[in-house]
Amino acid sequence: MAISTMLTVFSPNIWVYAVLRFVNGFGRATIGTCALVLSTELVGKKWRGRVGIMSFFGFMLGFLSLPLMAYINRGSSWRILYVWTSIPTMIYCILVRFFVCESPRWLFVRGRREEAISILKRVASIPSTDVNSGGAISMSFSSLPFEEEEEEKKPSNVNIFTTMKVLVEKRWALKRLSAVMAIAFGIGLVYYRMPLALSNLDFNIYLSAAFNALMDLPANLITLFLVDKLSRRNALIGFTALGGISSVLIFALQNMRIGNHGALQLALELISYFSACSAFNMEMIYTIELFPTCVRNSAIAMARQALVLGGVFSPIMVAAGRKNGVWSFGLFGLAIGLMGLFAVGLPETRGSDLCDTMDEEECKDQRSKNDITDRVIVA
């Protein structure tokens, strides 16, 4: 990402520029997925949700820094802007290389047990005598299978192709993946559409854009403080329903010819965008908890791809909505509201341990179903 951004400065024509931006997109998208998964795999379940939400603050601060860079360099060539945006990415590369460690969960799944233990010693400050005995590891990281009986396990040889094959072949995994992708698609329609559709509202477009940009902050704060208290499934359904209802109400107001509803439309638009941001945050944490370590990166990547796919349709529908609001606010409101209902069939994961293999996830899912059955029988 750093190299392609810097090389963009020297683009001789639009075609070279387009190719370099295309390459840049590969790096940026992969970083977003890996950073989220890695940060959550390095902490226990008590902090998993909050650490995951904190990564969204980094995205928000980076996004908010762009207007400042543009203001400082106003009147300068666009090439200078790319120089400024490439500098943080180069610093980031250095910081990651020397200060960020690999996920011990991923190392264990790959059969690199000694490296995993070495990293656990670093992050947990466990004395070497305790590590050699194996007791402290199993006590401090009870969700990681470092027991002696695991010695005989063969390392899992998972690559991008076998990962996708496993996700498709396992019925429960395919069901979960299809659900989170459908939800992400609905969220993406609203998440990317709202900033584009501001010109369709009866309100000052500059103020609308400013208010819209600030909505990321309360969305991140609310999910940060409530992520450990909210049911993942219910919160996702609630946020998508609120976003859908608000969007449909905007369409209804646009068709009412009584008075000026510009301020009310903006308020509903902000609620809808806030709901989409909150739903996106919650779904990323939910997806992390729904899939084991061996396929977690791929599952997150697919969910994010579905989100972006929803964004692909947004400009087309916003343009159509200028003539008929049903194609914009009305249709997108129905989409996010209905897509959110796919969460009904997903298991609740709040407070649960992360699994590392598909077999572990299946066993945990089966135990959960048995517990539900026992409670029903007892009742």
Q: What is the mean pLDDT of residues 10-22?
A: 92
Q: How many CB atoms lie within 10 A of CB 357?
A: 18
CA–CA separation, 135 vs 114, rounded Å? 15
CA angle, 315 as apex, 314 and 316 as ends, to 5°?
A: 90
Residue 142 has pLDDT above 50, yes or no: no
Q: What is the DSSP letter of 134?
A: T
The pLDDT assigned to 20 comes to: 93
CA–CA separation, 33 vs 307, rounded Å? 13
Residue 13 has pLDDT above 90, yes or no: yes
3-state secondary structure at position 350: coil
| Residue-wise pLDDT tens digits, 110-130 | 788 888 888 777 776 555 444
The token pair that represents 136 in the structure block? 């402290």
pLDDT band at 140 (very low <50, low <70, confident <90, very high): very low
- Tell me the pTM: 0.71
pLDDT band at 135 (very low <50, low <70, confident <90, very high): very low
Cα–chain center distance at 188: 11
Q: What is the mean pLDDT of the chain?
A: 79
Q: Which residue in 116, 5, 33 sits closest to 301, CA to CA?
A: 33
Residue 315 has pLDDT above 80, yes or no: no
Q: What is the mean pLDDT of residues 84-103?
A: 86
CA–CA separation, 317 vs 338, rounded Å? 18
pLDDT band at 157 (very low <50, low <70, confident <90, very high): low
CA–CA separation, 275 vs 280, rounded Å? 8
| Residue-wise pLDDT tens digits, 341-379 | 999 989 988 888 888 888 888 888 777 766 666 565 665
Residue 16 has pLDDT above 90, yes or no: yes
Q: What is the mean pLDDT of residues 96-103?
A: 85
Helices (H), 100-215: 104-109, 113-124, 128-133, 135-140, 160-169, 171-196, 205-214
